[in-house]
């Protein structure tokens, strides 16, 4: 069958979806509504704005007719407890959801923020495929004909069918004997990447601040996963001391107490030494905090750690300062002062959810 | 697509002959055997694989294929009102299901051919839609895909603004005919006969008369009376290019073609279920297949407490009617009897049931069907109830089981197949060429956001500002779009209605 009509319409539909996501990227990012809807490879994105508008009834059409048991005054069975139930002959609010692959989403993010692709460096663990003509197949162009194999096949056939005459060794290949060189994909090792997220969970980081970190981390993940085929992620939290935690804990833990940022950097360095040696890994440490540190002595220690050990071992170091009601924001100033002009250190201020996109652009815009 | 296998062809012939023997009357039915992907594809085009290109169909297709892949839904049957009828069978279905679908399809085809509401639909729609498709494609080649697509988007968002009864009624278009409605005379200044020529010069009188006629023409309402066929009004009066007019006309034709299916959903499905059930249980199904059949059949008729299943509702009503007319439970004497016990046992062997249901399938539509045949006994047997939302708990609660309330509620939902009724009242609003629409508000509000968006699409066609008068929670609202911004303001509701009523009357002067 030729190209089916429906495929054209379907492609057009996907194009429109893509356009809408691009248009609304900012809203999707700041509302954080995509997170939690992602599976391994796809995100479902609610797209009410794609359905054609019509003059139609709204939600206040609350009465309806049903069929079943029950006395007047009893609740209609089969609805959800929260009163969100959508029983009724009008299907209720039906939001269109479209599945988009994370790969696509990353591409859209890249186009919208004009992110450069990251140049691969390092040599291990990651696989990419390269084609080489090492295989043999029964079909192919004449230019790739494998003479020796073809001859051998013809010979075999002639011997088997008894037409081979040793005194008069003429071999005539037929179509079935033909063998051709073919492309075989071969896996070659490529650069691998690790992201280390560090978050300040001291008392001053509230829910909203953590949500911002969560959203930002989702998009950074999406982008880096698009760039590296194999991405490892590691989560650290710190207040006065630092711990390695899993993803869920990272986003939900609420601790209180003081803040000693150096503790996180020390732990981070240890993780990098143990698991992600610089020769083989592209390491991206991200640190999110509200900018309050225990003391200026500790800040000095942080700067020192960064300068001497962390920076040489990672691609770039990113610090995102989330505004909170209690944070002084001093830490960013100190970092900016210490690393003025150093391309490897990127610091951003995230005032609110709308600040997420620009901050991502700053972090990833260098293509390192 | 492929033709039927010999087995299926034999089954088809058997089902067809059986259906005929019961008096079903249909055009030839062509069954196509397709796989699930092809079926989803055809279904996305509303059954017509040759329709015009539009992303909406692609969206439909994505949803259908996904929900099929996830096992959430499966299309059993798809049949098209055409001569010959086309119906699709899914290759992977079991033989039992194929039999059921065939029997079901013959029910639908009989309904398409005989129900009065379908009498004005084109029976060559397959060809018509294919022609529409190639015309739209040609316009896309000539004017650009996006331009045409944008226009299609707008028209499609308006395609429920039609007058589904108009094929059956000759509506007076209200034009004042020659010699009607009393022509006004130019008042003369009183003068003696010999002076008249100078005081009232004939040129001046003629001039005045012309002015008066012009004024009358201006005051004449436009449209003469409110019309629900907004698409027609746009077609006649909106400043459209030729290709736009052509597309608008095509979309309108399609809307009218599909309208009767919306008007007879319950009846049409009920009729098909009635016949598949009859043919299957009495003839087609083998003893070994009976459990499988029952499984599928009851899946079709399953009800959920808060919902009405049109298949169930339809078939139960048809069966109830058949039983009533078999047992003489109709007419004046039966209606007058108010002893429930007597009514329940009423049995006069009139044996008119079969005849009656054939008649019903010919002349009724969902609204009249529900209105006429839901009886207190039926509502009770079927456990119908009206529900509403309890403001305190936010839960849906059973409000009433009175059959009249149930019926009213159903009729409400079915009126204009669940779409709001909207009329063009004035095409020259405030004498500035603006378009004024009125929504006949009867309790349910419009979805305002959508209404605003639809309005802005409408403005693209009309060119001048457009207005929609509606109500929100009982208070009058006027939504407007002037080409750049949407506004919504409170109004006293009466203006439009007075306008509507005033203009509904024949002009008298």
| Positive or negative: CA dihedral A273, A274, A280, A282 | negative
- Chain A residue numbers touching B49 (CB-CB < 8 A): 5
State which H helix or E strand residue A84 sits in.
Answer: none
Q: Do B387 and A82 touch (CB under 8 A)?
A: no
C-beta neighbour count of B259 within 10 angstroms: 24
Bridging pattern class, strands B85-90 and B29-34: parallel
Question: Under DSSP, is residue A211 helix (H, G, I), strand (E, B) or coil?
Answer: helix
Residue with tokens 């004997």: A177
DSSP B281: I
Q: Estimate the share of chain A in helix, then strand, then coil, as percent rounded to the nearest 5.
A: 40, 25, 40
Distance of CA A164 to the CA centre of its chain: 62
On whether the CB atoms of residues A253 and A243 are closer than 8 A, the answer is: no
CB-nearest partner of B447 from A56, A62, A67: A56
Q: What is the pLDDT of residue B502?
A: 38
CA distance A38 to chain B (A): 16
Provide the β-strand partners of residue B486: B481
What is chain B's pLDDT, residue by residue, as a tens digit (509 residues)?
A: 457 899 999 999 999 999 999 999 999 999 999 999 999 999 999 999 889 999 999 999 988 988 888 888 888 889 999 999 999 999 889 999 999 999 999 999 999 999 999 999 999 999 999 999 999 999 999 999 999 999 999 999 999 999 988 888 877 665 555 444 555 677 778 888 888 888 888 888 888 888 888 777 666 667 878 889 999 999 999 999 999 999 999 999 999 999 999 999 999 999 999 999 999 999 999 999 999 999 999 989 988 777 789 999 999 999 999 999 999 998 888 888 888 888 888 888 888 999 999 999 999 999 999 999 999 999 999 999 998 887 777 778 888 889 999 999 899 888 888 899 999 998 888 888 899 999 988 878 898 988 999 999 999 999 999 999 998 888 889 999 998 999 998 887 654 444 444 343 333 33
Which residue in chain A is spatially nearest to B406 when comparing CA positions?
A: A65
0.80 surpassed by pTM: no
CB atoms within 10 A of CB A240: 14
Residue B15: both structure tokens together: 């089902």
A-B contacts (CB, under 8 Å): 204
List the single residue in B62, B66, B306 with the smallest CB-CB distance to A76: B306
Touching A: B residues 161-180, CB under 8 Å: 161
Interface of A with B in 11-40 (CB under 8 A): 11-16
- Only one residue has tokens 């956001």, namely B449
Contact call for A53 and B62, based on CB within 8 A: no
Q: Which two tokens stand for residue B498?
A: 């007075």
Q: Which of A200, A295, A210 is nearest to A241 (CA)?
A: A200
List phi, psi (to 5°) of A325.
-65, -25
Q: Nearest chain B Cα to A80, which residue?
A: B395
A55 and B161: CB-CB below 8 Å?
Answer: yes
- List all residues 6 or more positions away from B502 whose beta carbon is below 8 Å from its beta carbon: none
Handedness of CA B245, B249, B252, B258 (dihedral sign): negative
Architecture label for domain A192-364: 3-Layer(aba) Sandwich (3.40)
Distance from CA of A30 to the nearest CA of B (A): 22
Q: How far is A50 from chain B (nearest CA, A)?
A: 9
Per-residue tokens: B343: 């009514």
Tell me the pLDDT tens digit for each residue of B235-256: 999 999 999 999 999 999 999 9
Buried b (16+ CB within 10 A) or exposed e, B23-45: ebebeebebbbbebebbbbbbbb
> pLDDT tens for residues B319-358?
999 999 999 998 888 888 888 888 888 888 888 999 999 9
Tell me which chain A residue has its CA closest to the CA of residue B42.
Answer: A6
Distance CA B244, CA B247 (A): 5
Phi, psi of B430 (to 5 degrees): 55, 25
Q: State CA A57 to chain mean position distance.
A: 40
Boundaries of every domain in chain B: 6-115+264-287, 306-415, 420-504
How far apart CA B208 and CA B185 sit, in angstroms, is 10
Give the ranges where A180-280 is alpha helix by DSSP (H). Answer: 207-227, 247-252, 261-275
Most A CBs within 10 A among B40, B48, B52, B59, hence the mutation to make, goes to: B59
For chain B, positions 263-322, list CB contacts with chain A under 8 A.
Answer: 303-309, 312
The 8 Å CB, 24+ separation contacts for B220-224 are: B220/B176, B220/B507, B221/B174, B221/B426, B221/B503, B221/B507, B222/B426, B222/B427, B222/B428, B223/B173, B223/B174, B223/B424, B223/B425, B223/B426, B223/B427, B224/B173, B224/B174, B224/B175, B224/B503, B224/B507
Which residues of chain B lie closer than 8 angstroms to A78, CB-CB? 304-306
Angstrom distance (rounded) from CA A222 to CA A34 = 12
Contacts with B390 from chain A: Cβ below 8 Å:
75
Chain A 54-113, residues with CB within 8 Å of chain B CB atoms: 54-79, 82-83, 85, 87-90, 96, 98-99
Instruction: For residue A132, list its beta bridge partners.
Output: A184
Q: pLDDT over 70 for what percent of chain A?
A: 84
Compare all CA atoms of chain A with the CA of B400 and give the residue at the minimum distance.
A72
């Amino acid at each position: 069958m030729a190209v089916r009509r429906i495929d054209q319409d379907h492609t057009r539909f996907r194009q429109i979806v893509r356009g809408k996501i691009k248009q609304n990227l900012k809203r999707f990012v700041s509302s954080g509504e995509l997170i939690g809807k992602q599976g391994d490879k796809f995100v479902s994105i609610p797209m009410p704005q794609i359905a054609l508008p019509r003059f139609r009834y709204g939600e206040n059409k609350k009465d309806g007719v049903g069929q079943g048991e029950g006395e007047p005054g009893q609740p209609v069975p089969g609805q959800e407890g929260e009163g969100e139930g959508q029983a009724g002959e009008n299907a209720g609010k039906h939001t269109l959801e479209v599945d988009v692959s994370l790969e696509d989403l990353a591409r859209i993010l890249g186009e919208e923020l004009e992110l450069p692709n990251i140049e691969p460096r390092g040599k291990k663990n990651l696989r990419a495929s390269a084609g080489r003509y090492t295989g043999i197949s029964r079909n192919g162009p004449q230019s790739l004909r494998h003479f020796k194999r073809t001859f051998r096949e013809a010979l075999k056939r002639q011997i088997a069918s008894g037409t081979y005459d040793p005194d008069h060794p003429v071999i005539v290949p037929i179509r079935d004997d033909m063998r051709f060189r073919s492309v075989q994909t071969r896996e070659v090792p490529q650069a691998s990447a690790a992201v280390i997220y560090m978050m300040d969970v001291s008392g001053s980081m509230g829910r909203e601040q953590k949500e911002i970190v969560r959203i930002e981390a989702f998009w950074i993940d999406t982008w880096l996963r698009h760039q590296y085929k194999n991405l490892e992620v590691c989560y650290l939290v710190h207040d006065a001391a630092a711990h390695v935690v899993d993803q869920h804990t990272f986003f939900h833990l609420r601790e209180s107490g003081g803040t000693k940022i150096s503790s996180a950097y020390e732990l981070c360095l240890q993780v990098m030494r143990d698991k992600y040696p610089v020769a083989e890994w592209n390491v991206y440490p991200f640190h999110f905090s509200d900018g309050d540190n225990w003391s200026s002595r500790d800040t000095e220690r942080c700067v020192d750690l960064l300068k001497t050990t962390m920076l040489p071992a990672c691609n770039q170091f990113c610090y995102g300062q989330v505004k909170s009601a209690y944070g002084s924001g001093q830490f960013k100033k100190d970092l900016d002062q210490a690393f003025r002009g150093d391309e490897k250190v990127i610091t951003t201020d995230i005032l609110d959810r709308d600040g997420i996109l620009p901050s991502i652009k700053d972090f990833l815009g260098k293509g390192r | 697509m492929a033709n039927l296998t010999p087995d299926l062809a034999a089954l088809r012939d058997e089902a067809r002959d059986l259906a005929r023997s019961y008096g079903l009357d249909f055009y030839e039915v062509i069954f196509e055997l397709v796989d699930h992907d092809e079926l989803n594809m055809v279904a996305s085009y509303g059954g017509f694989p040759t329709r015009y290109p539009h992303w909406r169909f692609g969206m439909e297709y994505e949803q259908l294929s996904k929900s099929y892949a996830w096992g959430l839904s499966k299309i059993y049957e798809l049949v098209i009102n055409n001569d010959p009828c086309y119906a699709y069978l899914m290759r992977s279905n079991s033989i039992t299901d194929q039999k059921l679908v065939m029997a079901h399809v013959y029910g639908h085809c009989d309904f398409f051919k005989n129900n009065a509401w379908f009498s004005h639909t084109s029976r060559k729609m397959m060809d018509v839609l294919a022609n529409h498709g190639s015309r739209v494609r040609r316009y896309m080649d000539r004017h650009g895909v996006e331009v045409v697509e944008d226009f299609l988007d707008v028209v499609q968002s308006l395609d429920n603004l039609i007058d589904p009864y108009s094929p059956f009624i000759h509506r007076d278009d209200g034009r004042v005919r020659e010699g009607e409605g009393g022509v006004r005379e130019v008042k003369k200044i009183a003068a003696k006969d010999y002076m008249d020529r100078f005081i009232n010069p004939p040129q001046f009188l003629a001039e005045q008369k012309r002015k008066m006629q012009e004024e009358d023409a201006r005051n004449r309402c436009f449209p003469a009376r409110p019309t629900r066929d907004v698409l027609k009004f746009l077609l006649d009066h909106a400043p459209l290019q030729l290709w736009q007019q052509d597309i608008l006309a095509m979309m309108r034709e399609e809307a009218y073609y599909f309208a009767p299916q919306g008007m007879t959903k319950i009846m049409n499905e009920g009729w098909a279920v009635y016949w598949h059930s009859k043919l299957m249980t009495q003839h087609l199904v083998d003893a070994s297949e009976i459990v499988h059949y029952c499984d599928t059949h009851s899946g079709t008729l399953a009800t959920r407490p808060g919902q009405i299943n049109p298949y169930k509702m339809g078939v139960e009503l048809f069966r109830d009617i058949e039983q009533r007319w078999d047992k003489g439970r109709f007419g004046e004497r039966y209606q007058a009897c108010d002893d429930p016990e007597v009514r329940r046992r009423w049995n006069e062997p009139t044996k008119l049931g079969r005849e009656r249901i054939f008649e019903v399938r010919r002349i009724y539509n969902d609204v009249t069907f529900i209105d006429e045949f839901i009886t207190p006994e039926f509502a009770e047997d079927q456990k119908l109830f009206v529900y509403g939302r309890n403001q305190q708990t936010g839960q849906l609660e059973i409000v009433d089981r009175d059959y009249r309330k149930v019926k009213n509620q159903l009729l409400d939902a079915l009126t204009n197949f669940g779409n709001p009724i909207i009329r063009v009242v004035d095409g020259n609003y405030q004498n500035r060429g603006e378009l004024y629409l009125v929504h006949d508000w009867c309790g349910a509000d419009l979805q305002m956001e959508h209404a605003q968006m639809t309005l802005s699409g409408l403005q693209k066609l009309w060119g001048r500002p457009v207005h929609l008068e509606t109500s929100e929670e009982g208070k009058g609202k006027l939504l407007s779009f002037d080409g750049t911004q949407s506004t919504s303001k409170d109004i006293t509701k009466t203006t439009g209605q007075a306008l509507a009523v005033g203009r509904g009357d024949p002009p008298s002067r």
